Structure formats: structure tokens, C-alpha cells
Structure 1
Amino acid sequence: MRKVRTSSRWQEWRWELEDVVENEETFGAEPRLLHRDAAGERWLHPGFPVELFRTDGEGYFLNLSSPAPCFFVLWRMEEEPTVADEPIPRPIIVSLSYHDAGRWLDAQETVEQVPAPPDVVEWMRAFAEEHYVPEPRKRKRPESFRRLEDRFGQPASVSTHKKYGGEN
């Protein structure tokens, strides 16, 4: 995560996702400050597994079929400072699924994306090819064949004959 200066007079700084990198043992388990200067800060948040689930093959397929397959990261600001002088953003989960990202966005969460490297894209592609089975499309009946119902769901009929008022 990185803290960058803004040009807004109302908000001097903002946080954004910089990258997702493969975890290394030397990273440790706790967030740590990598760099700080007048232009901002960079923090490393290690230890987030990225798993692929058979039940979400379509989500990976959608990611793969996009122009730039990517990682999706849900993050939140800390309520109270824990490792820094002020609250910092905390990634919560990392995913490769469009469905996960969509659910998080629907829940008004902060979700950012960064491009996935080629080896991750190939891993996801192999998994999706093995586990994703597109649902067969169902033929939709034309609207003209739909049963006519009133607003209460009861069968309705249409007639060209006058019901009241005589034969005129």
C-alpha cells in the first residue's frame, strides 16, 4: 500500500494499492514500513493467501476474459493505530475472482485492482479450464407466447366484444 500526496485542498493524502507480490519468508508476518519521505509512504502487508475454488470457476473465467486479468484487494483503514503513528490501510483479502470483487463492491467496500503477472494468469487459466463449465443457455420463449395475467397473477383474457352498452 502506498500513501500519496493529492492536489486537493481538502485531503492532503490518500492511500492506494501499489502492488501484489509473491510472499517471501523474509517479509515476516506483520505490516512494516518500507519507505517514507516527503512524497509519501510505502507499506508491506505480508501473508495473504490467494486460493482458487472450484465453485468460482466463472469468476476466474471472467477475470481471464478481461483485457487485463488482475488481483482484487479489499482493504480498510484501521480504526486505531497499531503499527504506525496514525491509522494505516489494512488489506483484508486478495482474490482473482470477479464475483468476489463484485460482492465486495456491492457491500460498499474499498476494492482496488492491480495486474496479475503472467505466471499467475496461466495458473488461473489452467484452473478455470479444468473446473469451469459454462451453464447451457436456456431458450427464452417469445413474449407473444407468455400467459396473460392481471396484476394479481390471475389469468386474464382480452376480447374485442363489448361487454356492456349493447350492440352498437
Structure 2
Amino acid sequence: MVPSETPSGGAHPSLAVAVVMRRERLHGPSSHWQPWRWTLDEVVPDEPGFGDAPRLLRDDEGAQRWLHPGFQVELFRDEAEGYQLNATTPAPCWFVMWRMEEEATLAPEPIARPLTVTLSYNEAGRWLDAQENVEQVPAPEEVVAWLRAFVEEHYVVEPKRRKRPESFKPLVDRFGNAASVSTEKKRGRGAGDV
């Protein structure tokens, strides 16, 4: 897998990849309700021979493998922190967001369709926060080296801002109005108070 260099037109460094999704048969009690499950199998370099449409690679009683070509993984400067987080983990990886088809278009039943691929830990986190299906597989060493080179060139550590102590914050009530605190003891009304 050979990453492209940034073209002179100002485009982002990118890689052309294809995603392989696997459908596997489930066993045990849960198979009564869900006989199959979809999972990410691998991310591979995209090749011209793959074409531009998903296709079935293998189909047997226990599993199916579907190839989904045509993805571009681009590196953006504003995602440098997410790339840095991924590149410095013990096992850097690809993150793939996928969804099930609404209706069957390529097979008798709906299949899992990858939507996008990234190397940014932060971007994958945003997808997970949005309740999307996100899975990961290890990235090959040459891709990790490419990612680390990008991080070294573009990642800038943001200085930590000192948090103001709570004791220096102004007191406000639940409506945002200024409030005060008294250390004097409140006394109840006695029989002689009018």
C-alpha cells in the first residue's frame, strides 16, 4: 500500500482503499433471533481490477465476504490530534463506519455497507458518539509510517490552560443572578421578636 504525496493543487495526502466485510453464522441461543452477524474483515489497497461496485468474494455455509472498493482515506491538518492518538497506540488501526442496507440491492438480504474509512481516533469517537457502527482493524506498518510522518509535520501540542479555581468564580443563583454567602448564624424568631 503506497500512500500518495500531496499534489501541487493543494489536495490532501490520501490512500485509495477497499473494505472487506464478513457475514458469519452465529451459534448458540442468540442464533434463534439473529442467525448472522456482520463484522469488518479487513482494509486493503484498492486496485483497478476491483471495479467500483461491491461484490461477493466468497460464500459458503458459514460465512460470506464482500469487497467494497472506492474509498479515499485523506489526511487533514485539523484532525492531526486524532491521527497522533492513533499513531502512538501500541496497535494503530483503520476505523470503518458501516450501516446495514435499508433494502436488499446486491443480495437476497440486505448487506453491511461501509460508508467511510479514517485513521483519526477523534473522528471514530465522534461516529461512536452518534451511535454509528464503527469497527477497527490493524493498519499495516507502511501506512502507520505515513501517518506518523504526517503527525510529525502537522501536529502541534496545544498548551494546557490553567483552570481558574472554583473559589475565584463569582457566585450566582440558578437564574444567573449574583448571590452572596453569609457566615453569620441565622436565628429564628423568638417569643419577644415582633
Alignment of 1:57-76 (within 5 A): 57-76=80-99
Provide the TM-score with structure 2 as the length reference.
0.79
Structure 1 equivalent of residue 7 of structure 2: none
1:13 lines up with 2:36 in the alignment: yes
More displaced 10-residue stretch of structure 1: 84-93 or 144-153: 144-153
Q: Tell me by how many angstroms 1:38 deviates.
A: 1.1
Q: Tell me by how many angstroms 1:164 deviates.
A: 6.3
Distance 2:47 2:34 in 1: 34
- Count the aligned residue pairs: 166
Structure 1, unaligned runs of 5 or more: none
Structure 2, unaligned runs of 5 or more: 1-20, 190-194
Distance 1:162 1:82 in 2: 75
Alignment of 1:137-152 (within 5 A): 137-152=160-175
Distance 1:48 1:119 in 2: 18
User: What percent of counterpart residues are identical?
Assistant: 66
* Structure 1 stretches of 4+ moved >2 Å: 141-166
Structure 2 equivalent of residue 94 of structure 1: 117
User: Helix, strand or coil: the match of 2:42?
Assistant: coil
Distance 1:80 1:139 in 2: 52
Q: Which has the higher strand share?
A: 2
Q: Tell me by how many angstroms 1:165 deviates.
A: 6.1
More displaced 10-residue stretch of structure 1: 61-70 or 47-56: 61-70
Distance 1:133 1:82 in 2: 45
1:157 lines up with 2:180 in the alignment: yes
User: Helix, strand or coil: the match of 1:20?
Assistant: strand
Distance 1:164 1:152 in 2: 27
Distance 2:183 2:112 in 1: 68
Distance 2:183 2:49 in 1: 82
Q: Of the candidates 149, 156, 159, which is equivalent to residue 136 of structure 1?
A: 159
Structure 1 equivalent of residue 23 of structure 2: 3
Distance 2:127 2:183 in 1: 53
Provide the TM-score with structure 1 as the length reference.
0.90
Superposed CA offset, 1:19-76 (max 9, x none)? 0001111111111111111111111111111110011101111112223111111111
Structure 2 equivalent of residue 55 of structure 1: 78
